[in-house]
Amino acid sequence: MRQLPLRVTLRDRALFESFLPGPNAAVVAQLTALAERPRAGLVWLCGPEGSGKTHLLQALCARAGEDARYLPLSQLQPYGAAALAEWQGARWLCLDELEAVVGQPEWERALFGAYRDCEDRGASLVMAARAAPPQLPFVLPDLASRCAAGLRLGLQALDEAGQLAALRLRAQQRGFELPDDTARYLQRRLPRDLSSLFAVLDELDAAALAAQRRLTVPFIREVLARRGAG
């Protein structure tokens, strides 16, 4: 089998332990159980942008081990739908960003093939998208019906207090404390989705280490101004 140049690396902080469940505790528990033991059938994970879909899929793969595969379909798309067959055979197959390919007949046939492969082997197939299956423009009725019949897990975005707690948890994992006024400043000045907030927090932490400075509001203002966001 040919080797595709695509390399997907799991983020080292994308673990169940580093995910603040908030209102999503039941979803996290179900995915954790799935990571411990694969179950035949399809799980559909949906939620708004920044609600943690990618984090949880990668956490599942990290917990499940080497026999799990995480594939963001937006990155796989340039290689063509046939490329999806390269990863058939995994006990856990996690497909992210379904909205990137749903509506394209060739891709939907490949997804249906992945579904049948997992079903035949008793493997776990987890698909993630921003919307539930009935809200996506499927063109292959068989795939649409299978996705709609799967176990659906819906994620909710964290509220403002939850985001603050998630930012503090992220900072704690990186080895520093994040004062409330600093976290609130980030919330006011940046997009409210957690992926954007986490990316900037990581950047600020690296800048603070390089400058031997604390993460104070004046320092953050300097860094954001330098990057054109202040």
Q: Domains of the chain (ranges plus CATH)?
A: 16-154 (3.40.50.300), 160-226 (1.10.8.60)
pTM beyond cutoff 0.95: no
Residue 60: CB atoms within 10 Å: 24
Instruction: Quote the pLDDT of residue 145.
Output: 98
Helix (H) or strand (E) run with residue 71 in it: strand 68-72
Structure tokens at 159: 């509220």
Beta-carbon contacts of 156 under 8 Å, excluding residues fewer than 6 positions away, are: 22, 23, 24, 47, 51
* CA-based nearest residue to 92, from 21, 37, 16, 133: 37
Instruction: Quote the pLDDT of residue 9.
Output: 57
Contact (Cβ atoms closer than 8 angstroms) between residue 215 and residue 167? no
- Amino acid identity, residue 140? L
Instruction: Quote the pLDDT of residue 5.
Output: 43
Chain centroid to Cα 87, Å, comes to 19
Instruction: Quote the pLDDT of residue 142.
Output: 97
How do the pLDDT tens digits run along the chain, 230 residues long?
Answer: 233 344 555 565 789 998 999 999 999 999 999 999 888 889 999 999 889 999 999 999 999 998 999 999 999 999 999 999 888 889 999 999 999 999 999 999 999 999 999 999 999 999 999 999 999 999 999 999 999 999 999 999 999 899 889 888 888 888 888 888 888 888 888 877 787 888 888 888 888 889 888 888 888 888 888 876 44
Instruction: Quote the pLDDT of residue 82.
Output: 92
Instruction: Quote the pLDDT of residue 2.
Output: 32
Instruction: Quote the pLDDT of residue 11.
Output: 65
Structure tokens at 203: 């950047």
Contact (Cβ atoms closer than 8 angstroms) between residue 139 and residue 105? yes
Sheet holding 151-154, edge to edge: 68-72, 92-96, 124-129, 41-46, 151-154
Chain centroid to Cα 54, Å, comes to 0
Determine whether 147 is exposed, middle or buried from the number of CB atoms within 10 Å of its CB (0-12, 13-18, 19+). Answer: buried
